[in-house]
Structure 1
Amino acid sequence: MIIYPAIDLKDGKCVRLEQGDMSRATIFNTSPVKQAREFERSGAEWIHIVDLNGAFAGRSVNTDAVTAIVDAVNIPVQVGGGIRDESMIEFWLNHGVSRVILGTVTVKNPSLVKRACSRWSNRIVLGIDAIDGRVAVEGWAEVSNITLEELAEDFEAAGAAAIVYTDISRDGLLKGPNIESTMKLAKRVATPIIASGGISGIEDIRRICASPPISGVIVGRALYDRKITLEAALKVASQEADGAQLA
């Protein structure tokens, strides 16, 4: 189980939104680089970055901030938000990003995503954001008629490195993750599933770690609101992994 501390970027600052609403943004750090270094010092194995401005604009916006983070840390970084064409995917992969997350284009341009998975094996992650089981796109501003499971199954053979599944109704609200839906998805497809949205404390981490089909979890607001420490989350994940090996 991998714990992914999250950095969401808006106007070059580290923020958290509530349910993807840009008007409900709380600034937690004006220096994303300092935040990334803090995560690294705390033992993070990965950092998860979302360019929020980019998600709404349909193109990468916080390029300088992302590049600065990548240059500042020695752990892998995955980036999503507004990445809609192969040239931008290539740009990020050539500038130190380990994995690129594709969201809106999984619905709007699935052939591009499948080509990307074929061209950059194990470096493409699918970002599937859903509310009431329906996939949302364009920074969650549009809800499609495609179900979460349908979209995941459509890309089953593409060879994506993972799927980040976010339950929009819980994101940024500290209400607890939708473990039931996440486990259902993880059992439905072979692609590794990373849970996102709603982590409120260490018990949520324990519950997810005890759900074997789920391969990782993204933690954001709970870290910034100090409901949980990254060190504690990593310790739980390590203990669960050790316990699974002994079993």
Structure 2
Amino acid sequence: MGGTLLAVCLASLATAAVAMGVTAVVARRLGRVAVVDVAWGLVFVAIAWVAHLVGTGSVRSLLLAVLVTAWGGRLAWHIRRRAVGAGEDPRYEKLLSEAPEGRRFAFAVRKVFLVQGLAAWFVSLPLQVAAATDRPLGWVAALGVLVVVVGVTFEAVGDAQLAAFKRDPANRGRVMDRGLWAWTRHPNYFGDSAVWWGLFVVAAEAWPGVLTVLSPVVMTYFLAFATGARLLESEMAKRPGYPEYMARTSMFVPLPPRKRARRP
């Protein structure tokens, strides 16, 4: 197994490097670093299929590749549709403001594309390890698939509810606090996290997949505290009504809305 796992890991690392390299070139031509957000889900799709082809070709790795394709394809399509006609993402604009004069692209490669490529490789370790095993699927894998489905559903429904809310002119200036958004301030981020915990469970059924537990932990940390929810809320909290929304609604894990709002 050792030789197969090494081959899968190296092939996956090369896939992440090539995918982010191509994304960087496209971003430079378009003048928008935010292109990387569209590519993010697709990088995992590419890694999943390369790992399956280089590995044992097991049913487990095929199942993971299909699940990741469904998740990553939907995410890329959603972000691409949302980004049409938009300018640079404020997060990247702020980051690039720190770039030395005349070295904006090189700075973006180092701070964005390289970092995200390595992050994608690390988070996808459950896929890579599973691709090097050939143990048959069992009930644990079925449980993992269920968690993935719940996660994708949370993402898709949450995104659809927010899009419908924004389309209604009557909601202009208001805070979305309906549907899933009444239970968690970030149903899309929570769903994303659930997907990767589910993928980990599928992989963990076959040794040594359980050792890749840090991958979903890291993904959840970034979604909740690093580049995801916390960063977004640093700006959202300035909007009228949002502090009150924060006081009555769970930040990440879905919970019943508080009847009496606490001070944020």
| TM-score normalised by length of structure 1 | 0.27
Bigger radius of gyration among the two: 2
Higher strand share: 1
| TM-score normalised by length of structure 2 | 0.26
